[in-house]
């Protein structure tokens, strides 16, 4: 899965460059497509993987620089081709738009993120790629939850999961991974709406899906997906914390503390933020400081866009005063001198 907390890096030239990159991305998504030579299918495949790798490694600035060029290339390939090449270009464009929407969601550009997802969904549907479309529906659920539309988010994820529900004995790893991640989003939305029992039902299904996959993230079967055996426990941490059961949340956190091989920084960092929330609820403030610092060191460009990270940092500052939180000095400097509570959001 974020209201825009901003990027507090003080270098004005860097900020200006990022604004320019976002302007170019926004322009492409609004339909201003320059006429450039289209790329070939191998280039599309490579670009899609590269963009999602940038996302999961929390290289958002580089992702902003890269997306306008690869999106334009894919758009022009669709216009200049037909048949199977056009279909493949459409799928690649849908996956690139999907990645764009995730970046925009974290950057607080939720309306533009919704537009990118809508176009991605149309392209995937026209191409007949039901699994790419299902993966896109997962991000639609995430975006709905970001806007506190939890019932809609749960319904979106559950309906998409039902459409691709696999027979686990014969399903491909990609199908299982996408189905499992949709169930995680459904569980998250149910938990946020206060239906903790329903969330647990989804999480049991997540656990069943996760057992079908190796806990290996490097060779993930879907470029937009990091679902694995630890996912159910990780989302369970959220459910138990929101249900005011922080000790149970921390028990689950201990189960997934290591993660799988090659676990990406964004996933590991987000997981640590959830653990820190449970630690604060359990009054384990010293541990929470260490956990938040670890989350920051893993993916600083990512945590700056997570409202919960800001909220937890503010909570610790409020409890103790800055002079007693040496472990958060670098974090506070990065986020800015004034840390304001911005609510608990995905």
Contact, 237 vs 276, CB < 8 A? no
CA–CA separation, 185 and 199 (whole Å): 9
End-to-end CA distance of the chain: 6
Contact, 246 vs 216, CB < 8 A? no
- Judge whether 7 lies within some domain: no
- Judge whether 239 lies within some domain: no
DSSP states along 79-119: HT--HHHHHHHHHHHHHHHHHHHHHHHHTT-HHHHHHHHHH
Q: How far is Cα of residue 298 from the mean position of the Cα atoms in its chain?
A: 15
CA–CA separation, 249 and 240 (whole Å): 5
Most confident of 13-27, 191-205, 214-228, 230-244: 191-205
Segments forming the whole domain that contains residue 58: 13-128
Report the range of poorest mean pLDDT among 1-5, 10-14, 98-102: 1-5
At 328 the pLDDT is 81
At 342 the pLDDT is 40
**Total domains present in the chain:** 1
- Judge whether 54 lies within some domain: yes
Whole-number mean pLDDT of the chain?
Answer: 85
CA–CA separation, 123 and 96 (whole Å): 11
- Judge whether 76 lies within some domain: yes
At 147 the pLDDT is 92
């Amino acid at each position: 899965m974020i209201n825009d907390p901003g990027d507090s890096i003080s270098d004005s030239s860097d900020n200006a460059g990022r604004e320019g990159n976002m302007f170019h991305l926004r322009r492409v998504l609004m339909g201003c497509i320059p006429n450039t030579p289209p790329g070939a299918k191998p280039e599309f495949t490579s670009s899609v993987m590269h963009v999602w790798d940038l996302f999961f490694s929390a290289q958002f600035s580089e992702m902003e620089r890269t997306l306008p060029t690869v999106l334009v290339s894919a758009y022009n390939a669709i216009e200049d081709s037909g048949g199977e090449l056009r279909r493949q270009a459409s799928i690649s464009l849908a996956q690139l738009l999907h990645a764009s929407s995730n970046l925009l969601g974290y950057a607080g550009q939720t309306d533009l993120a919704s537009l990118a997802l809508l176009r991605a969904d149309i392209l995937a549907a026209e191409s007949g790629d039901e699994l790419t479309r299902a993966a896109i529906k997962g991000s639609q659920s995430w975006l709905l939850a970001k806007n506190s539309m939890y019932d809609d988010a749960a319904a979106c994820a559950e309906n998409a999961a039902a459409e691709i529900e696999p027979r686990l004995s014969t399903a491909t790893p990609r199908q299982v991974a996408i189905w499992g991640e949709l169930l995680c989003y459904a569980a998250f939305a149910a938990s946020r709406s206060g239906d903790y029992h329903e969330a647990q039902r989804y999480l049991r299904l997540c656990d069943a899906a996760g057992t079908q996959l190796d806990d290996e993230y490097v060779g993930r079967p879907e470029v937009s997906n990091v679902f694995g055996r630890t996912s159910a426990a990780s989302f369970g941490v959220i459910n138990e914390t929101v249900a005011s059961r922080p000790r149970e949340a921390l028990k689950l956190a201990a189960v997934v503390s290591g993660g799988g091989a090659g676990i990406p920084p964004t996933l590991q960092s987000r997981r640590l933020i959830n653990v820190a929330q449970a630690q604060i609820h359990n009054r384990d403030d010293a541990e929470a400081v260490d956990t938040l610092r670890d989350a920051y060191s893993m993916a600083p460009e990512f945590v700056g866009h997570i409202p919960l990270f800001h909220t937890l940092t503010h909570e610790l500052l409020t409890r103790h005063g800055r002079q007693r939180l040496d472990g958060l000095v670098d974090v506070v400097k990065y986020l800015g001198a004034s840390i304001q509570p911005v609510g608990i959001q995905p």
